[in-house]
């Protein structure tokens, strides 16, 4: 199957009430692991690469790996998405490399550290939307800055994240502003800030509503019932994966991620794309540590990369089942070409819709 755009995939997910995990990749093993999971459960997937992944793997490698996975699994719709584009040029070069969707993250300035103000965010996001939609490519925007409601700190762990202390106003997306942002930029999907952050150290305890603001998400969905919402920093950081890493020489401090049941609750309130990187990093690292600890004489990378891939496939498969993505691939009968998507944008058919909330109407 051809690569699918984020917009077509999330429209399908909204129509059929499911969520789609967006898994990050940097290498062949991660791409193959995700696809094996999608294939086993008949699920469409979003494979995303960050700026870091693009410089690690090279755009040409990524492009051909994505061609390869769609050739190996022709029946699985794959959306290839740029994670956290920091400026319009990063988005445009991703499109040239074959991505069918880009994130313009204007919540931070191009340095990936300084919070951008309203005019900056709307300006860069709108610019990317105008250009991308001409070519049928989808765009995710972000309003609000990702970071911890416990500490007020942005998440710098992955190199992309706000520096210094942030106020609650910055750390929680304002629902009225979200409506204005979608109207002004015409993004296809909106990432919101609600207390999640990147990396393993999200919460110091099992999160409740004070530190994982599900009520903010629900309020945004009430005001924007037709907008696809995106949860970043949505790894669950499972205890068993922490345990394997620590049992075999790792030193992860106790920590909590986003519980799967909270994500499932989010899916009932408009969340359609769920970003997961850390869980897969941990799944792979746990197995690599295990194999090398138990077999100190081993030096064939396949001996630890194969179990690492299997552990990642298991994690991906679990999330595809938990988010009800499983079983949906074969329901997508036809993928719109980029030229068809471009025409749909030009006709106004895909403009944001601001209707009454589903719940209010019920």
Ligand X SMILES: O=C(CO)COP(=O)(O)O
- The residues annotated as belonging to the active site are 83
Phi-psi region of 144 (alpha: psi -120 to 50; beta: other; left: phi over 0): left
Residue 322 as a binder of ligand G3H (CB under 6 A): the answer is no
Chain centroid to Cα 269, Å, comes to 17
Q: Which stretch in 48-56, 229-237, 241-249, 296-304 sits in contact with Zn ion by CB under 5 A?
A: 229-237
CB of 142 to Zn ion, least distance (A): 5
According to CB under 6 A, which one of 21, 233, 266, 270 is a site residue for ligand X?
Answer: 233
Partner touching 107 among ligand X, ligand G3H, Zn ion, none, CB below 5 to 8 Å by kind? Zn ion
Tell me the sheet residues that pair with 24: 48
In angstroms, the CA 212 to CA 233 distance is: 11
According to CB under 5 A, which one of 11, 87, 105, 155 is a site residue for Zn ion?
Answer: 105
Residue 133 as a binder of ligand X (CB under 6 A): the answer is no
In angstroms, the CA 303 to CA 274 distance is: 31
Identify how many contiguous H helices and E strands the chain contains and give both numbers.
Answer: 15, 8
Q: At what angle do helices 88-96 and 118-134 cross, to 10 degrees?
A: 20
> Which residue number, 11 or 277, has a Cβ lying nearer to ligand G3H?
277
CB of 226 to Zn ion, least distance (A): 23
Binding mask 186-225 for ligand X (x = CB under 6 A): ------------xx--------------------------
According to CB under 6 A, which one of 198, 202, 221, 317 is a site residue for ligand G3H?
Answer: 198
Partner touching 53 among ligand X, Zn ion, ligand G3H, none, CB below 5 to 8 Å by kind? ligand G3H
In angstroms, the CA 224 to CA 214 distance is: 15
> Which residue number, 237 or 335, has a Cβ lying nearer to ligand G3H?
237
Contacts 24+ apart (CB under 8 A), 14-17: 14/226, 14/228, 14/270, 14/272, 16/328, 16/331, 17/267, 17/268, 17/324
> Which residue number, 12 or 198, has a Cβ lying nearer to ligand G3H?
198
According to CB under 5 A, which one of 39, 86, 101, 107 is a site residue for Zn ion?
Answer: 107
Say whether 227 sits in a helix, a strand or coil: coil
User: 10 Å Cβ neighbour count for 231?
Assistant: 23
CB of 359 to ligand X, least distance (A): 27
Partner touching 52 among ligand X, Zn ion, ligand G3H, none, CB below 5 to 8 Å by kind? ligand G3H
Tell me the sheet residues that pair with 104: 85, 141
Contacts 24+ apart (CB under 8 A), 156-159: 156/113, 157/198, 157/199, 157/200, 157/201, 158/50, 158/52, 158/198, 158/199, 158/277, 159/52, 159/112
Residue 235 as a binder of ligand G3H (CB under 6 A): the answer is no
Q: Give the interface with ligand X as residue ranges (CB under 6 A).
A: 24, 83-84, 198-199, 232-235, 275-278
Q: Give the interface with ligand G3H as residue ranges (CB under 6 A).
A: 24, 50, 52-53, 83-84, 158-160, 198, 277
């Amino acid at each position: 199957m051809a690569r699918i755009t984020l917009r077509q995939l999330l429209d399908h997910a909204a129509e059929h009430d499911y969520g789609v995990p967006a898994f990050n990749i940097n290498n062949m093993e991660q791409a193959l692991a995700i696809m094996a999971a999608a294939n086993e459960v008949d699920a469409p997937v979003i494979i995303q690469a960050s700026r870091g992944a693009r410089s690690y793997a090279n755009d040409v490698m990524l492009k051909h790996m994505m061609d390869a996975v769609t050739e190996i699994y022709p029946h699985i719709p794959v959306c290839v998405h740029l994670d956290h584009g920091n400026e319009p040029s990063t988005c445009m070069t991703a499109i040239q490399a074959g991505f069918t969707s880009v994130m313009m993250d204007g919540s931070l300035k191009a340095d990936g550290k300084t919070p951008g103000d309203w005019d900056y965010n709307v300006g860069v996001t709108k610019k990317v939307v105008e250009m991308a939609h001409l070519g049928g490519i989808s765009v995710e925007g972000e309003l609000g800055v990702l970071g911890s409601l416990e500490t007020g700190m942005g998440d710098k762990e992955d190199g992309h994240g706000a520096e210094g202390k942030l106020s609650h106003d910055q750390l929680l997306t304002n629902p009225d502003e979200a409506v204005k942002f979608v109207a002004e930029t015409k993004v296809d999907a909106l990432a919101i800030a609600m207390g999640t952050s990147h990396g393993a150290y999200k919460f110091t305890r099992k999160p409740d509503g004070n530190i994982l603001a599900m009520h903010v998400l629900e309020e945004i969905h009430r005001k924007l019932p037709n907008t696809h919402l995106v949860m970043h920093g949505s790894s669950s950081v499972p205890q068993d994966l922490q345990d394997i890493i620590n049992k075999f020489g790792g030193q992860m401090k106790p920590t909590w991620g986003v519980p799967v049941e909270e994500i499932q609750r989010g899916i009932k309130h408009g969340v359609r794309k769920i970003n997961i990187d850390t869980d897969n990093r941990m799944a792979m690292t746990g197995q690599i540590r295990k194999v090398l600890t138990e077999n100190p004489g081993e030096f064939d990378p396949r001996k630890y990369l194969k179990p690492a891939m299997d552990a990642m496939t298991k994690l991906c498969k679990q999330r595809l089942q938990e988010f009800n993505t499983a079983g949906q691939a074969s329901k997508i009968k036809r993928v719109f070409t980029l030229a068809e998507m471009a025409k749909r944008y030009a006709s106004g058919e895909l403009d944001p819709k601001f209707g009454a909330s589903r719940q209010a109407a019920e």
